[in-house]
Amino acid sequence: MVYDAFIEVNLREGIADPQGSTIEKATANLGFEGVVNVRVGKCIRFQIEAENEVNASSVVQELCDRFLTNPVIEEAIIKIQVVE
């Protein structure tokens, strides 16, 4: 089966996010009120072949742990979906 993998990489809670705070200040400067806790991450998408969803998830998880994120400062939210 082929699965779509969608990975959202974010800075861990407590890790300062200079991009997020800069954007937050800019929203206020633009007149948007009440925009708080802006955090900036990145998304990585790819397709992966695996026997089933469990296998696909475990490979993607390992890929995130070893390569796609730096666990010291980042964490990943993984979504897997079978390609229709």
Partner 1 sequence: MSPNIGVIVFPGSNCEKDTIEALTDLGASPRLLWHADRDMGNVDAVIIPGGFAHGDYLRPGAIARFSPAMEAITNFAENGGPVLGICNGFQVLTEAGLLPGALQKNAGLKFLCQEVELRVENTNSVLTSQALEGQTLRIPINHFEGNYTCSDETLHELQIGHRIILKYSENPNGSVADIAGICNDNRNVVGLMPHPERACHTLLGSTDGRVLLKSFMEGAHAKV
Determine if 16 is a binding residue for partner 1 (CB under 8 A): yes
Determine if 31 is a binding residue for partner 1 (CB under 8 A): no
Q: How far is the CB of 76 from partner 1 (least distance, A)?
A: 12
The beta-strand segments (E) located in the chain are 2-11, 42-49, 74-82
Alpha-helix runs per DSSP H in 39-84: 53-63
Choices 27-35, 52-60, 66-74, 76-84; region in contact with partner 1 by CB under 8 A = 66-74
Determine if 15 is a binding residue for partner 1 (CB under 8 A): yes
Instruction: Please count the helices (runs of H) and the strands (runs of E) in the chain.
Output: 2, 3
Determine if 67 is a binding residue for partner 1 (CB under 8 A): yes
Backbone angles phi, psi at 46, to 5 degrees: -160, 175
| Chain contacts with partner 1 (rule: CB under 8 A) | 11, 15-16, 18-19, 22, 67-68, 70, 72-73
